[in-house]
Amino acid sequence: MEDLREDLADLYVESRATAPGDPYRRPSRQDFLNRLTTYMRRPGFAVVIAEMDGLMGCAFGFPVRGDGSWWFGFDGALPRSIDQLTVSGRAFAFGDILIRPHPQDRGLARRVQERLLTGHQASLGATLVDPADRPALAALRSWGWLDIGELRRPAGATTFRALVLPLGERTTARLEGLVTMPGGGDPGGP
């Protein structure tokens, strides 16, 4: 597993390259490895890997507990449909989605995300993103994630954007109208 961890860390560095002039300081390779180690200890941790001539992408995470603790610190009322999917055990938290930059990254991202969700019989993906990480937010939105609001974690008083990825037409239809964007932007665009 150690080789895989190192390969995933290499993919993290490559997939999160900072554009010139981007003021956002991405977490370091070691920060990523520390987070990955923490996630790996969570019950139900899973990873999906895409390979061609090498590691092209991956997604990993763990099931969201039905007690709703994942959403503690959500600003406002959690949309009812999301709460219902969480309580029913149909939500899965993505720790990260790493895609090697290439022309088909959108399709590959969609496939690894869906594979991870269907493998856990989940109807909803959930993730938290630093609002200053504009490239990550843009990528997630381009892959179909919906920004549903702000969440503040008590430890360190860190604020995140909460995003969800509904799986399947029925789930998507139930979630329509939930999207809130800072500044009222288009939820489907980067």
- Reported as a single tens digit per residue, the pLDDT across 121-149 is 999 999 999 998 888 898 899 888 999 99
| Mean pLDDT of all residues belonging to the chain | 82
- SS3 letters for the chain? CHHHHHHHHHHHHHHCCCCCCCCCCCCCHHHHHHHHHHHHCCCCCEEEEEECCCEEEEEEEEECCCCCHHHCCECCCCCHHHHHHHHCCCEEEEEEEEECCCCCHHHHHHHHHHHHHHHCCCCEEEEEECCCCHHHHHHHHHCCCEEEEEEEECHHHEEEEEEEEECCHHHHHHHCCCCCCHHHCCCCCC
CATH superfamily of domain region 2-19+27-184:
Gcn5-related N-acetyltransferase (GNAT) (3.40.630.30)
pLDDT at res. 175:
56
Which is higher by pLDDT, 60 or 168? 60
How long is the chain? 190
Which is higher by pLDDT, 133 or 180? 133
Q: Give the residue-averaged pLDDT of 175-190.
A: 40
The residue behind tokens 């022309």 is: 103
For residue 188, name the pLDDT band (cuts at 50, 70, 90): very low
Domain ranges, ordered by start, for the chain: 2-19+27-184
Compute the distance between CA of residue 62 and CA of residue 186 in angstroms, rounded to an integer.
29
The residue behind tokens 């860390």 is: 9
Q: Is the pLDDT confidence value at 41 over 60? A: yes
pLDDT at res. 181:
36
Q: Specify whether the CB–CB gap between 160 and 153 falls below 8 A.
A: yes
- Reported as a single tens digit per residue, the pLDDT across 46-100 is 999 988 878 888 999 999 999 989 999 999 899 999 999 999 999 999 999 988 8
